[in-house]
Amino acid sequence: MNRRKFFKNSSFGLLATTVPSAALSVATSSTGGEFTGVIRKAIKFRDVNEPDLSIEDRFKLVKDLGFDGTELRTDDKENAKDFIKASEKTGLPVHGIVNSSNPDLAGAVEFAASVGGNSVLYVARYDRKRPLMESWKETQDIIRKGLPAAEKHEVKILVENVWAGFLISALDTVRYVDEIDHPWFGSYFDVGNNVRWGVPQHWIELLGPRIGKLDIKEWDERKHRSEGLSKGFSSPIGEGTIEWDQVRAALKKIGYRGWATAEVGGGDRTRLADIAARMDKVLGLA
């Protein structure tokens, strides 16, 4: 079995699904939390700030700290062979690629497939100097051009909700995804980015099976109000104002099974260990 098929067929390769839990049973520890074996936690590779370690040793560190996988960026393509080797040596999968707003989705899909990933994160941008629907249609056309590659390689293209002033409503996102209406396209839902415009658990319920993967960060409305807009992201995971119990309830309600990746800024071993522990707590993994 090759690397691509191994990760696709293992629990690490799962995208979100609403198939009943019994049909996707995963061997887990009896001491785990409610979502152990259901949600897989990951860290953005760019956030592993141990510059003296090789790529392989950084993969080993991430695995040793309890993360189930990592996520690369399109810019990492030049080191693809090193990432493939590191993944094979350590058993830590690359679950996806962050492509931002790069329009070359086919290239990102091919890179994701080459390293064993099953998703590409895409940011749909809004050109405020032009009518909104021009950006809407233009970004949808970019996605459609990438879908043949996505289908061929079985890599899902997922549009993320970011602070670009676009797709700022759950209903907008539902419409955007449904208009494309393709099995290899969906939503990459960022729990923390959402709070400026909405309530995460409400978005989760509305997006439902459209959610392919999750980004995890905190939001603190108290700091936003007292210290300024950007300070809303400054609280550690679990110490802000996101109602994580309600987020978990919504994820359970839609039957979410898949990846959740921290996007909270990098650090050394100590910082990463703290992130892992916080994710365990707010996601019900311990």
pLDDT tens string 110-169: 999 999 999 999 999 999 999 999 999 999 999 999 999 999 999 999 999 998 889 999
Model confidence band, residue 15 (pLDDT cutoffs 50, 70, 90): low
Its pTM stands at 0.91
Q: Any idea which of 18-22, 50-54, 200-204, 228-232 has the lowest mean pLDDT?
A: 18-22
Distance CA 255, CA 248 (A): 10
Closest CA to 123 of 99, 96, 97, 107: 99
Distance CA 244, CA 95 (A): 24
pLDDT tens string 23-32: 333 333 446 8
pLDDT value of residue 170:
96
Q: 3-216+244-282 belongs to which homologous superfamily?
A: Divalent-metal-dependent TIM barrel enzymes (3.20.20.150)
Tokens representing 21 are 């839990």
Residue-range domain boundaries for the chain: 3-216+244-282
Contacts of residue 265, defined as CB under 8 A and 6 or more positions apart, other chains included, come to 47
pLDDT higher than threshold 50 for residue 19: no
CA 62 to each of CA 45, 54, 100: distance values in angstroms, whole numbers, following the listed order: 9, 12, 23
pLDDT value of residue 123:
97
Task: Report the amino acid identity of residue 125.
Answer: R
Half-sphere exposure of 196 (CA within 13 A, CB side): 18
